Each structure stands twice: as C-alpha cells, then as structure tokens.
Structure 1
Amino acid sequence: QMILEAKTVYCIRPNIGRLQVRKELECHFDLEGEALYSVKWYKDGNEFYRYVPRDQPPVQLFTLPGITVETHNSTESQVVLKSVELSSTGRYRCEVSAEAPSFQTVSDHGDMTVVALPKEGPQITGGRPRYQIGDTVRVNCTSGRSKPAAQLMWFINGEQANTSFLHGPQTLYTGREGLETSILGLEFRVKPKHFQRGDMKLKCLATIATVYWRSNEESVEGDKPQKAPVLESRESVPPSKSRADRVQALQYRRPIVTIVVKTADDGALLLTPSFMFFLDQFHNYSMF
C-alpha cells in the first residue's frame, strides 16, 4: 500500500503579483515511480485548470473571475496566468493524483496578492523654499492610487521623523476597483540642528510590500538672521569750500546769517559766512 506522505508536492507561486502582468504558477511533485493521473489547480476552492495526460487535449479549463490561462504555455507542472487582475488575489492550491489503482492524492497551496502600483512616485506639497529658526513646517506626502495603499514614511535630514510630528496616515478610496490614495502629514518646529549640515532635507518614502519602493526629497534653504543696520551720520562738505567753511560746518552748525558791524570810521563791515567762525573773537561791536 502506498503511503500518502511518501509522495511530495511543492506549489511555487509569486506571493505578490503586479496588475496586468503575466504570472507563472509552478507545481513540482514526486510520485515515487507511480504514473500521473491528473494535476488540478484551484483558486479559493474552485477548480480552474485540469491536466490529464491521457486525455486529448490534456488541458481543460474552467471559467473563474480573475483567471485567464495561457493554454499553450501551461503544462503538468506550470500554469501561466495572462494579465492578472485584482480579483486574481486569493489562495491557490495544486492537487496531484496518481494513476490507478491507488489514485492517491497530495496537494500544496499558497497565497497570491495582486497589487496595483501608483503611476508616479510620492508627491510633497505645502512646503516653502525657505525657513527660519522657529518657523513651523507643515507638509503633506501623497502617494497616488494603488492597491493596497502605499505605506508612507517621513525623513528629516536622513533620519526617520519622530512619530509625534506625523499626522495620519489618511486613506482615500477612488474608482470602482477601490484603488487607494495615501496621505501622511509632517509638522514640526524648525531648530538650529536642522541646518547644521547646510540645507534641510525632507524626504518621503512610499512602499508596497516588496515590489514598490519610491521616494521624493526636497531641499529647503534656511534664512540667515539679518543684522540690524548701523546708521552713521557724516557731514559732507563740497571740496570748493574753504577751510573756514569746513570749521564752521563741523564746529558750529548754526544757521547762516549775515551780520553788519559798525566800524570806528562810521563805515560798515559785512560779515559773510566765511568769517562767521571769528565771531567769538569780537567782544565790542554794535548792531544797527
């Protein structure tokens, strides 16, 4: 009597499949010298592929949503799925049976998830080109429509952002297929350490399982504090002026007036601005 455990079957399949991409399912088995009767494939308990070598043709297909088999490329040990869909996600089981008289059967299974990837990398919005110490940074990272939603992470100068800086994530569902858009906010106050290496770098990373890994990084400049302007007042004297003019302008800065002084011979002396600096030397003069 044949012992069931002596027969082995290995179901090899990609656990992750990309939307509208061709995928291969493999089933390797060892019947220990027994003849093969049939190989059957099931998705979520429903048969969709049968291979019986003694039948003509040996391949028989069964309609199932999300399953399109390339018959000419499928054999007893391989089933090729053409352009998998989101509905192709599920548990796949390979069942192998030996020929008469035993008809012993062994099987193995595995799960496959079909993912729809974003058409572009994550986008950073809401930022400013410059920040000063003490300013508040408020930015969002958005990863476009996918299935499942992308996982988002923020980095500041190459280091993962503190969870207290994060807002979200938020997931938006769109379309009849339920594609998902992910949004993760980042908010923090700018400190001197953020500009120790020059510009501050903000990076958002989006991942989906092991098949999608995209990032976007922005470099932000820091505004240096401006020094208060020093106002310096200087007198400017035209070069044509005499030394007396310069002395008058720098020392007295008095309103310029014209003074007439009566002289001893009943004449008059007109004091022009050029002679104003001598006024302090006159002690006895009379004004008209």
Structure 2
Amino acid sequence: MALMYKELRVLLLVVMLLSRDYGVTSLELLELRVPAHVPLGTRAELSCRWQLGPADILYSVKWYKDGKEFFRHVPRDQEPRRKFPLPGVDVEKSSTNGANVTLAPAILETGGRYRCEVSGERPLFPTVSDHADMIIVALPDQGPTITGSKIRYQIGDRVQVNCTSGRSRPATRLAWYINGEPAPTAALLTPTHQVHSDGLETTSLGLDFKVKSKHFRKGDLKLKCLATIATVYWRSNEESVQGEKLKGYSRSRELTEGASRADRVQAAGKLGGSAPALQLTHCLLIFSATLLQTLPTRLHVDFV
C-alpha cells in the first residue's frame, strides 16, 4: 500500500513536470469584477470568470468578504449553492455556476474586501483567487452650497467665499472654478472635514483672491464649486456676480461733451465778436436789403 502511494506521488510529479515543460495550461482566473463604489441602497453585482485546463474539472467556487465565506458553489454536492450569514452581505441571486452573484441593497456594513476563489478537482486541486475592494457611498441629499459672495465686485476687491458639501460617506471632494477655469492653487484654502454622529462627513473649501480686470468677461464674474465622489456623484453650484461700473464714469463723459460745445461757442466769439453783436449786424443787413427792394426803380437807377 505504501509502495502504491509513493508511485502515485511520483506519477503526479511527472504529470506536473510534463505540464510545465510542454505548456499544458491549468486552471486560470481571467477576471474579477467588484464595483469600487456602490451607492447606499443599491444592489451590487459581483462577477468572477475563469478558464479550466484540459485536464481540470471544476470543484468549487467560493466568495469571501473580509476573509469570511458568504457563498459557495460545489457542483457535486447535494446542495450545490449555499449561503452563509454575514452582516451587510446577502446574496439575492446567483448564476448556475456561481460565477455571478447579486447582493441585497447595500448598507454601510456591505463595504469591504471581496474575494473569489476557484478550485479544480483532485488529484491536484488547483486553486486560483483574486480580490477587490468595495466602498459603500452615502450620497449627499443636496448639492454644494456657496456662501460669502457679494452682488457686485470692483477691480481690486477681495473675493472670499466658501463652499460646503452635503453630508456624505466617504467625504466629498470639492473644487473651485473661476470663469470656467480651475482656480489657482494659491487662491484655495486648506479644506476642512467634519464627521457627524451618524458617520457621514461634510467638506468645506474656501476661495480667496483679488479681482483683476481679466476676471470680468462681458461684465460678469462666474464662480463655480464642483462636488464629486469617485464616479458615482457629480454636482455643482455656480454664482454669477456683476462687475460694478466705475463711479462717476457716466457723469465725467457728460461733462466732457458739454465742454466741447462751450469751446466751439467761445471759438466763434473770438473770430467774430460777441454773440449779441453778431446778431445785431445780421439784422441790419436784412433790413437794408428789404428797404432797397421797396424804392422806385428810377431812384434805384439814379442811386446806382
């Protein structure tokens, strides 16, 4: 019996060496899909894809979360698919081969590290596995809020505004934009985080800069705060403030136009005397022409 056992071990070793030398493939895990971010209350779908070698037979497919098994598929068992209780994890449905599982609506405890393990039948029992992390996201119930902005700004004024996100988990990432362009790093203050009693977080980010002429485009200054959480949340809030006109601009223009008209009148006075004198001379000339037209022709001829 002992001799037969030794011979079997030698045979297995020879098979393994031949498989390696001649490129005979064995069980291989091709792909593991675990969503990196799952919104609270939604169903996560996990997928594990493998390929058996020419001499391999599937023995089991097992799913783990944080090292604890919560689902297995063993084709040869009387109960091929089994679930194991685990806080935050409940398999609602699965494929016939255990490759795909759909979890119940996520709660905060659903997050963690998930692993798929696939094993082949005896005598070699090849086993492959891979893991990926899942984060449960509690989305904010409202978009980012901007505070501290004024209705109007002048060149040289200081803009000091703050953006606060809604309560979420994980913390929301905030970014400022000025007229559609990312705000310079020098204008950004250090972000602050607040953790609430329910585990949700709030993020705040301040913006501080002096207004320059380049900031006004068509008279408006646009400030936008963007809040994001990975690829599952993307909301923004934008405020448009007007550039205040320079005080006295319209009045100074009117004074300039009045001065121009006065200059023309004064120039005319210098050339032909004062305005009343010019008017009197003009009246005398008209009167003389009229008087000449009313005189008799003879007198007019003799006069000429």
- Normalised by the shorter chain, which TM-score bucket? 0.7 to 0.9
Whole-angstrom CA distance in 2 between matches of 1:76 and 1:210: 28
Q: Does 1:88 align with 2:110?
A: yes
Whole-angstrom CA distance in 2 between matches of 1:220 and 1:151: 24
Q: How many residues in Structure 1 have an aligned counterpart in Structure 2?
A: 231
Residue in 1 that maps onto 2:76: 54
Whole-angstrom CA distance in 2 between matches of 1:73 and 1:86: 25
Shifted more, 75-84 versus 222-231: the winner is 222-231
* Mapping for residues 216-255 of structure 1, pairs under 5 Å: 216-227=237-248
* Mapping for residues 16-35 of structure 1, pairs under 5 Å: 16-33=37-54, 34-35=56-57
Residue in 1 that maps onto 2:142: 120
Q: Secondary structure at the match of 2:215?
A: helix
Whole-angstrom CA distance in 1 between matches of 2:216 and 2:50: 61
CA distance 1:125–1:74, change in 2 (3 Å): farther
Could you give the per-residue CA deviations for residues 145-186 of structure 1, whole angstroms, max 9, x where no partner exists? 11111111111111211222222211111133x111110011
Whole-angstrom CA distance in 2 between matches of 1:74 and 1:126: 58
Could you give the per-residue CA deviations for residues 52-79 of structure 1, whole angstroms, max 9, x where no partner exists? 1222332211222221211466751111
Q: Does 1:7 align with 2:27?
A: yes
Whole-angstrom CA distance in 2 between matches of 1:124 and 1:186: 10
Work out whether residues 144 and 166 of structure 2, in 8 Å CA contact, stay in contact via their aligned partners in 1: yes
Residue in 2 that maps onto 1:179: 200
Residue in 1 that maps onto 2:121: 99
Give, as a single letter, the amino acid of the residue that structure 1 aligns with 2:163: C
Question: After the TM superposition, which segments of 4 or more aligned residues of structure 1 sit over 3 Å from their partners?
Answer: 1-5, 71-75, 228-232
Shift of 1:18: 1.6
Q: Secondary structure at the match of 1:214?
A: strand
Residue in 1 that maps onto 2:191: 169
Q: Does 1:159 align with 2:188?
A: no
Match of 2:224 among 194, 197, 203: 203
Shift of 1:197: 3.2
Whole-angstrom CA distance in 1 between matches of 2:97 and 2:38: 20
Shifted more, 198-207 versus 73-82: the winner is 73-82
RMSD over aligned Cα atoms? 2.3
Structure 2 gap ranges (5+) = 1-14, 256-304
Shift of 1:6: 2.2
Could you give the per-residue CA deviations for residues 227-251 of structure 1, whole angstroms, max 9, x where no partner exists? 185899xxxxxxxxxxxxxxxxxxx
Whole-angstrom CA distance in 2 between matches of 1:12 and 1:188: 45
Whole-angstrom CA distance in 1 between matches of 2:66 and 2:89: 12
Q: TM-score, normalised by structure 1?
A: 0.73
Structure with the higher helix share, 1 or 2 = 2
Q: Does 1:147 align with 2:186?
A: no
Could you give the per-residue CA deviations for residues 198-238 of structure 1, whole angstroms, max 9, x where no partner exists? 20000111111122221111110111022185899xxxxxx
Whole-angstrom CA distance in 2 between matches of 1:212 and 1:75: 34
